[in-house]
Structure 1
Amino acid sequence: MDATYNLNGGFKPTAKRSADIDGPDFFPTPAWATQALVDVEEFKGEIWECACGNGAMSEVLKRTGCDVYSSDLYDRGYGDTGIDFLTAKRQSNNIITNPPYNSAEGFVKAGLENAGEKVALLLRLAFLEGAGRNTSIFSKTPPSRVWVFSERITFYPLDAEIRGSGTTAYAWFIWDKAQTTAPELKWLPLGYKKKFK
């Protein structure tokens, strides 16, 4: 096992996300985290999962009855590969993904350019902070809704032993092009983590 996963004797898998900042950041999204999104947001028309990895999120989205197009820059055995979302010009009704940690701001920009209706990105809650993001994103195009997880998501590399608990707060950031009211802060209900293991 990679020693960086054990910090002071404790197993803290979420700390590893920053270690992949210069490489292919791949931490599949737990099914329950995607299910929480589709239970509170309605998506009409095609959904583009543009960092699909091994299809963990796409498979949950397909159960909504929507057409889901899946792509990724890297080949994880699922969807169309070699597609760089940050430069792609493909249009879709909706874009939903858990973007790579080191490209989140770029995914917001590309998502707003390529989505006709909604962009939903799974991001750290701390994404709300920062003078740079305030200037480049939030002062111009703030999210319509931020759905905060009441339960912590623990991200693991594929095939890692699942143990321990996450230490980082996450939220679904929604940009809804039909919404004209002020941004809303909401909380996802408890129970998803246990129900959708």
Structure 2
Amino acid sequence: MDATYYLNGGFKPTTKRFADLDGPDFFPTPAWATHALIDNEEFVGDIWESACGNGAMSKVLERTGNQVISSDLIDRGYGEGNHDFLNSWRKAPNIITNPPYNAAEGFVQTGLEKAGKKFALLLRLAFLEGANRQRTIFTDAPPSRVWVFSERITFYPAGTVQKGTGTTAYAWFVWDKDATSGTELKWFKPGYKALYSSGP
């Protein structure tokens, strides 16, 4: 069985998920995109990076001084491999990750159950669209804050030369268990790409 997911979070037995397997289909998260989150959101307690890949995001999260737990469905040599977030026994005060695109809705539903304080997902801004998500996620459990990137994120296959800019808008979607108001739309100030592009 191919260990990938359907849109609703169930396993997809035959079709490979884009940007999830080893080799040319694996796209690590640029360090500056994670720095933007931790510079603007405070996380108290342990952090679980539940789709850690090669540890690109986990290494930045460690700069918060918090204990970082790393796992991934695919074993890429970093953290705990072969760990299925959607069916995991683990819980943590905070969960931060860039989920597989085809499993984003499943990650939201699972993260809301397993995060005690905050849950943050790096998603396409277009995730805000869709009648199904409006019914299944945003009506009952809307994010507390949506941090929109002023600069475009470009995801490159691991090991390739990074150049050019992406064409897709991304945002950090943050669910905060202590928030008392509705969804707040915020923007990251430009400059994170230049400030942190050299690494964590």
* TM-score bracket for the superposition, by shorter chain length: 0.7 to 0.9
Q: Report the CA distance between 1:20 and its aligned residue.
A: 3.9
Q: Identical aligned pairs, as a percentage?
A: 66
How many residues are paired up? 179
Structure 2 distance, partners of 1:22, 1:124, is 14
Contact 1:153/1:170 (<8 A) preserved: yes
Which residue in the other structure is 1:114 paired with?
114
C-alpha distance in 1, partners of 2:135/2:192? 34
Distance 1:23 1:123, change over 3 A: closer
Deviation at residue 160 of structure 1 after TM alignment: 2.0
Q: Which residue of 2 aligns with 1:64?
A: 64
Paired residues for 1:41-60 under 5 Å = 41-60=41-60
Equivalent pair of 1:22/1:102 in contact (CA under 8 Å): no
Name the TM-score, length of structure 1 as normaliser.
0.88
Partner of 1:153: 153
**Gap runs ≥5 in structure 2:** 1-15
Listed one character per residue, the Cα deviations across residues 158-182 of structure 1 (whole Å, up to 9, x for unaligned) are 1122122100000000000110111
Q: Which amino acid is 1:185 matched to?
A: L
Q: What CA deviation, in whole Å up to 9, does each residue of 1:134-186 have, x standing for no partner?
A: 01100000000000000000001111221221000000000001101111000
User: For residues 8-49 of structure 1, what are the alpha-carbon distances to aligned partners after superposition, in whole Å with 9 as ceiling and x for unaligned?
Assistant: xxxxxxxxxxx8449636310000000000000000000000
- Give me the whole-angstrom Cα distance separating, in 1, the residues matched to 2:196 and 2:98: 18
Q: After the TM superposition, which parts of structure 1 deviate over 2 Å for at least 4 consecutive aligned residues?
A: 19-26
1:137 is paired with a residue whose SS is helix
Q: 1:157 to 1:122 in 2, by over 3 A?
A: same
5+ residue gaps in structure 1? 1-18
Aligned residue for 1:155, secondary structure, equals coil
* Counterpart residue number, 1:177: 177
- SS for the counterpart of 1:80 is coil
Give distance in 1, aligned partners of 2:154 and 2:20. Answer: 20
